């Protein structure tokens, strides 16, 4: 089946084929680690997780690079304000970022390069741009000359006006109206961290960081490059200019951008004071799976409005999925194989694949899952399936979950929960209800809720 993805560069859905057979090389712009990432950031990282998992479902091996921006204007500002080193600012947030990725069940990328560990690669790239006459030195800084790169503006469909083309900006972030030459290397400023370089002491601009790290790990031409839509200009436009001017090769074959997580009509952003971190929501008692469900529930190219009602709904959807899964795992009946089951499973699997193949249509994928549950639940409740049938359904559900990532597997990590449940069962058998209540309370405190059913005790995370 053909996978079709919307390429922002062409503004069209295109059939996807990687440059190297069966291997897909993706660069994903990572977090700027000067604070906790907010759930808007995680919407983008979860879209990238969906992309990665879908590519794998379609049989590709994925090599993904996600950089950590651990030096830029914002981090330096934070370090100067608190009179501490860059590392003091970034280390706790890098740790928190990886914890959050685990909590949200994001599959790890193959590489997480840090900008501060790739300064030589950046200097090398800047050197090539100077040699080719696409960059110029001014004082101790180096700027990219956008007039030397005629395709400049093709990604964001914007062009510099004549009088703007000869001005330059030091800041990494600016609006389309300010389109201009931009800094590759910024001359050292009093009190700021710096690195020695052939152009004098200074530090890299944000855009050169991503070009250098992307090409270092993935080669001159990448299959896919992703980020939030706010990264398209100037960040990705500048990445194209730097990389292609240096190599003469196409930098990225497919550009994918996700739309924003919004709050009451405005983009969620730290600077707007309307953001929530993952930790804020977990502290309010929401489950990580419901947050994952909510943040992936709209198509990645449409804005998604964040509300607590939406999160409550997501919690209900996730509970239905978990209950269905646990019902399958605990199924006791054993009738003949159901004649209609194989056809139904094939149909729902095809629906899932067709939906994802169409530019990651997540609503279609979710509806394939919920239809599957509606098909199977009556038979499960009436005991009208064989154990072989149930194993087939579990297999299909797990294959859906390779992409959706919503199931709570009761694996070895949960052994301690099962051990306590077993101890509680023993206590109840000998009518030691004070001990059994004590165990229930202990589990509740650890976020585990028990439900006693006719089939035995079930547990779920709160």
Q: Which two tokens stand for residue 230?
A: 């706010």
* Beta bridge mates, 141: 138
Residue 211 touches which of ligand AMP, Zn ion, none (CB < 5 to 8 A by kind)?
A: none
Q: Is 252 in the site for Zn ion (CB under 5 A)?
A: no
Among 116, 141, 156, 231, binds ligand AMP (CB under 6 A): 231
Angle between helices 387-404 and 341-357 (to 10 degrees): 10
Residues 251-270 interacting with ligand AMP (rule: CB under 6 A)? 260-261, 267-269
Beta pairing, strands 202-204 & 222-228: unpaired
- For the range 156-165, what are the long-range contacts, defined as Cβ-Cβ under 8 Å and sequence gap of 24 or more? 156/232, 156/233, 156/234, 156/236, 156/237, 158/233, 158/237
How far is residue 415's CA from residue 242's CA, in Å, rounded to a whole number? 52
- For the range 9-18, what are the long-range contacts, defined as Cβ-Cβ under 8 Å and sequence gap of 24 or more? 9/154, 9/155, 9/252, 9/254, 9/255, 13/358, 13/359, 14/254, 16/254, 18/60, 18/223
* Beta bridge mates, 256: 226
Candidate ranges 26-34, 178-186, 403-411, 428-436; the one touching Zn ion (CB under 5 A): 26-34
Q: Is 222 in the site for Zn ion (CB under 5 A)?
A: no
Q: How many CB atoms are located within 10 Å of the residue 95 CB?
A: 11
Q: Which is nearer to ligand AMP, 32 or 322 (CB)?
A: 32
Among 79, 210, 261, 345, binds Zn ion (CB under 5 A): 210
Q: Is 364 in the site for ligand AMP (CB under 6 A)?
A: no
Q: Which two tokens stand for residue 133?
A: 């006459």
Q: How far is the CB of 44 from ligand AMP (least distance, A)?
A: 4
Among 40, 204, 234, 405, binds ligand AMP (CB under 6 A): 40
Q: Is 41 in the site for ligand AMP (CB under 6 A)?
A: yes
Residues 198-227 interacting with ligand AMP (rule: CB under 6 A)? 227
Q: Is 67 in the site for ligand AMP (CB under 6 A)?
A: no
Candidate ranges 38-46, 100-108, 114-122, 285-293; the one touching ligand AMP (CB under 6 A): 38-46
> Total number of residues binding ligand AMP (CB under 6 A)?
17
Q: Is 153 in the site for ligand AMP (CB under 6 A)?
A: no
Q: Which of 83, 46, 88, 84 is nearest to 70 (CA)?
A: 88
Which residue has the closest beta carbon to ligand AMP?
A: 228
- The answer for residues whose C-beta is within 8 angstroms of residue 290's C-beta and 6 or more apart is 311, 314, 315, 317, 318
Q: Which residues bind ligand AMP (CB under 6 A)?
A: 29, 31-32, 40-41, 43-44, 69, 227-228, 230-231, 260-261, 267-269
Q: Which residues bind Zn ion (CB under 5 A)?
A: 29, 210
């Amino acid at each position: 089946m053909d996978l079709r993805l919307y390429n922002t560069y062409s503004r069209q859905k295109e059939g996807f084929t990687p440059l190297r057979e069966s291997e897909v090389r993706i660069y994903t712009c990572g977090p700027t680690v000067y604070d906790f990432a907010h759930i808007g950031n995680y919407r983008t990282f979860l879209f990238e997780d969906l992309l990665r998992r879908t590519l794998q479902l379609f049989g590709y091996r994925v090599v993904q690079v996600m950089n950590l921006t651990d030096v830029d204007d914002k981090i330096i500002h934070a370090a100067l304000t608190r009179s501490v080193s860059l590392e003091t600012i970034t280390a706790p947030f890098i740790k928190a970022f990886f914890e959050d990725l685990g909590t949200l069940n994001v599959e790890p990328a193959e590489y997480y390069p840090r900008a501060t560990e790739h300064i030589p690669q950046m200097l090398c790239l800047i050197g090539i741009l100077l040699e080719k006459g696409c960059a110029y030195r001014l004082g101790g800084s180096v700027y990219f000359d956008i007039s030397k790169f005629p395709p400049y503006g093709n990604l964001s469909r914007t062009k510099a006006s004549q009088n703007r083309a000869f001005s330059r900006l030091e800041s990494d972030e600016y609006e389309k109206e300010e389109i201009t030459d931009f800094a590759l290397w910024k001359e050292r400023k009093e009190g700021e961290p710096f690195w020695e370089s052939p152009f004098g002491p200074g530090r890299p601009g944000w855009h050169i960081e991503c070009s250098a790290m992307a090409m270092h790990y993935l080669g001159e031409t990448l299959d896919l490059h992703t980020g939030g839509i706010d990264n398209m200009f100037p960040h990705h436009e500048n990445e194209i200019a730097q990389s292609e001017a240096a190599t003469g090769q196409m930098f990225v074959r497919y550009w994918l951008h996700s739309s924003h997580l919004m709050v009451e009509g405005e983009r969620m952003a730290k600077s707007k004071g309307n953001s929530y971190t993952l930790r804020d929501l977990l502290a309010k008692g929401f489950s990580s799976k419901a947050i994952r469900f909510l943040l992936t529930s709209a198509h990645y190219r449409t804005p998604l409005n964040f509300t607590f009602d939406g999160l409550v709904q997501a919690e209900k959807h996730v509970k239905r999925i978990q209950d269905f899964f646990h019902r399958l795992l605990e199924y006791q009946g054993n009738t003949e194989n159901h004649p209609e089951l194989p056809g139904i499973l094939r149909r729902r699997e095809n629906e899932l694949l067709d939906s994802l193949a169409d530019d990651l249509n997540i609503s279609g994928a979710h509806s394939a899952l919920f239809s599957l549950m509606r098909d199977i639940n009556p038979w499960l409740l009436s005991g009208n399936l064989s154990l072989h049938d149930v194993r087939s359904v579990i297999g299909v559900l797990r294959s859906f979950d390779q992409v959706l990532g919503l199931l709570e597997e009761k694996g070895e990590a949960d052994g301690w929960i099962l051990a306590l449940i077993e101890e509680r069962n023993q206590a109840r058998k000998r009518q030691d209800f004070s001990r059994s209540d004590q165990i229930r309370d202990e589990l509740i405190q650890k976020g585990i809720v028990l439900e006693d059913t006719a089939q035995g005790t079930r547990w779920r995370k709160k």
